[in-house]
Amino acid sequence: MPHWKNASFPWNPSLKNEVEALRLATTSYEDKEFSAALDVEAYTRACAFLNGVKTYHNHPYQRVVGDVATIWQDGETRLLDYGGSDDGPVVLAVPSLINKSYILDLNEDQSFMRYVAQHGLRSFLIDWGDVGTAEKTMGLEDYVMGRLNRCLDEVIKQTGRPVCLVGYCMGGVLTTALTVMEPDKVAGLVLMATPWDFHAGQGRHKQVIQAYQLQLRSIINMMGVLPIDVIQALFAAIDPYGILQKFERFSKMVPDSLEAQKFVAMEDWLNDAVPLSGPVAEECLFDWYIDNRPVSGKWEMDGHFIDPQDIICPTLLFVPEKDRIVPVESALALAPLIQNAKVEKLPAGHIGMVTGRKAKEALYLPLCKWLLSHDFSKITKMP
């Protein structure tokens, strides 16, 4: 209340004008009356949140999709073949290491992979899987130059044609690195909501990670991984009220509506996360978010610094303008570093860009058209 009455919110100075306007609008009310109204509103929202969580837990939705062939596997990592045109461009989609790959194949109606396979592209998806015994000691170089590189070799072997990489979120950072390291193997590059400057924009990622750096290092050293619950807590800290608000909205949906089913599908995926191996967690949290090594040119792999200026293949960046996970400025930082890169901005959020109701027209279709408009007939280095 003292902060409110003084219009003093030092932790978020960008809201100064809005706070002042609200403060002036409530000056005619007594403190007790105002405080009581706040209590009622807080209680009402808490009840709606709890009701939303209960409804989610009891919802009957289950993800059902057609079988997809696994054509290669190493440890927990699998290469999935979604089929598609034998004459169209070959694409290998690369998701993040944090959440499971089926965000790109959420269900029959919301499936990036099935759409591109049905619209002229020969389509493959790398499924990183869980962190087993072999993966616990793996770092980013092991994933990029090992697992991802061998997946790319397998796709080239299977198709005998040039391959375009499609990276989503953290997967885009990994595909950028592999394209720099293996330029003869990559015919084209598509980056979706891919961060590069980890200090750019208004995101709170650095502040949150820096504040808990000692605890995070201790957990990683003790457990050998960054556990799922810790990862979820970090995401929650970036947008503390986001979880409350989304379940409050869900409590007002008709349970058997399509809208409710989509919410449950997304929430199931979000809660079906995987831990990060200790080395990967340290590199992502501390080398990326604190030291900002990618944009400063100090991210090293196999004795080489990863410099996007070395990328010469056709490149397209999709940047969602409502992204809270990857600030727009972070994603746009890659564009001027890659020769002749094209940028498409989308009126969507980080996850909505691939699963939202406008995803097909805003992302899937333009991506297919761009790939189909290029001649990827250059010779690809065979494994």
Q: Please compute the mean of the pLDDT values over residues 295-306 and round it to a whole number.
A: 95
Identify the pLDDT of residue 180. 97
Tokens at residue 362, please? 């805003």
Task: Place 11 in a pLDDT band, splitting at 50, 70 and 90.
Answer: low
Identify the pLDDT of residue 7. 61
For residue 382, pLDDT over 70 is answered with: no
- Taking residue 71's Cβ as centre, other Cβ atoms within 10 Å add up to 15
Strands (E), the chain: 69-74, 77-83, 90-94, 122-127, 163-168, 186-192, 225-226, 276-277, 300-301, 304-305, 315-320, 342-346
Nearest to 26 by CA among 4, 43, 11: 4
Q: Please compute the mean of the pLDDT values over residues 8-12 and round it to a whole number.
A: 65
As a CATH number, domain 69-202+275-372 is 3.40.50.1820
For residue 18, pLDDT over 80 is answered with: yes
Give residue-wise pLDDT tens across range 258-274.
999 999 999 999 999 99
Which of the two residues, 109 and 51, has the higher pLDDT score?
A: 51
Q: What is the pTM assigned to this prediction?
A: 0.90
Share of the chain above pLDDT 90, in %: 79
Least confident of 15-29, 226-240, 241-255: 15-29
CB-based burial, 132-141: b 16+ in 10 Å, e otherwise: eeebbebbbb
Give residue-wise pLDDT tens across range 91-149.
999 999 999 999 999 998 899 999 999 999 999 999 999 999 999 999 999 999 999 99
The residues spanned by each domain of the chain are 69-202+275-372
Q: Please compute the mean of the pLDDT values over residues 66-78 and round it to a whole number.
A: 95
Give residue-wise pLDDT tens across range 272-288.
999 999 999 999 999 99
Identify the pLDDT of residue 300. 96
> Contact 203/324 with Cβ under 8 angstroms?
yes
For residue 312, pLDDT over 90 is answered with: yes
For residue 342, pLDDT over 80 is answered with: yes
Q: What is the mean pLDDT of the chain?
A: 92
- Contacts for 375-381: CB closer than 8 Å, 24+ residues apart: 376/89, 376/90, 376/161, 376/162, 376/164, 376/187, 376/188, 376/314, 377/162, 378/162, 378/187, 379/162, 380/156, 380/161, 380/162, 380/163, 380/184, 380/185, 380/187, 381/182, 381/184, 381/185
Q: In 3-state terms, what secondary structure has residue 83?
A: strand
Task: Place 379 in a pLDDT band, splitting at 50, 70 and 90.
Answer: very low
Give residue-wise pLDDT tens across range 178-220.
999 999 999 999 999 999 999 998 767 888 899 899 999 999 9
